[in-house]
Amino acid sequence: MLEKRTFDFGEVELYDYYLIIVVNEGETILEAHNRILEDLAEEFYSDTPFYYVTHRKYPYAVDPTVYKQTSKIRNLAAFVVVTNESIGSAFTKIEEIFLTKPLKVFDNLELALAWVKHDHEKNNKA
């Protein structure tokens, strides 16, 4: 891990080519929160593709317009959702409508990170 940052809406762990966010229970993610995440993406991944992993340990809401902004992050390789609840999986179907970046859903973090590593290696062969 490169760094861990705590915000009023949750925690973000930053790694070489991906970040993991855990949003606080009951939070509503708005454009202002997303701007913070966009700034982190620019600070840590300005010259490299990266993966945004949202580990949904707790239920929370997202303003759908946030996904349109997230899709504009030029070097975002994929949006990865980790959820083990059927409601969370159903919600990702709605997210697909708003996201123009690849969306992958996993039921545990280890599988998600294995996919991230594989996809990163596949797309960044020397």
Q: Are strands 3-7 and 10-14 parallel, antiparallel or unpaired?
A: antiparallel
pLDDT of residue 93: 72
Integer Cα distance of 14 and 61 in angstroms: 22
pLDDT of residue 96: 80
Integer Cα distance of 10 and 7 in angstroms: 5
Query: For the structural domain made of 7-108, what CATH number should be given?
Result: 3.30.750.24
pLDDT of residue 125: 78
pLDDT of residue 65: 85
pLDDT of residue 23: 94
Q: What HEC string does the chain produce? A: CCEEEEECCEEEEECCCEEEEEECCCCEECHHHHHHHHHHHHHHHCCCCEEEEEECCCCCEECCHHHHHHCCCCCEEEEEEECCCHHHHHHHHHHHHHCCCCEEEECCHHHHHHHHHHHHHHHCCC
pLDDT of residue 77: 95
pLDDT of residue 120: 96
pLDDT of residue 91: 66
Beta-bridge partner residues of 81: 54, 105
Blockwise average pLDDT, block size 10, the chain, 126 residues? 94 97 94 91 92 92 87 92 72 77 92 97 82
pLDDT of residue 106: 93
pLDDT of residue 61: 87
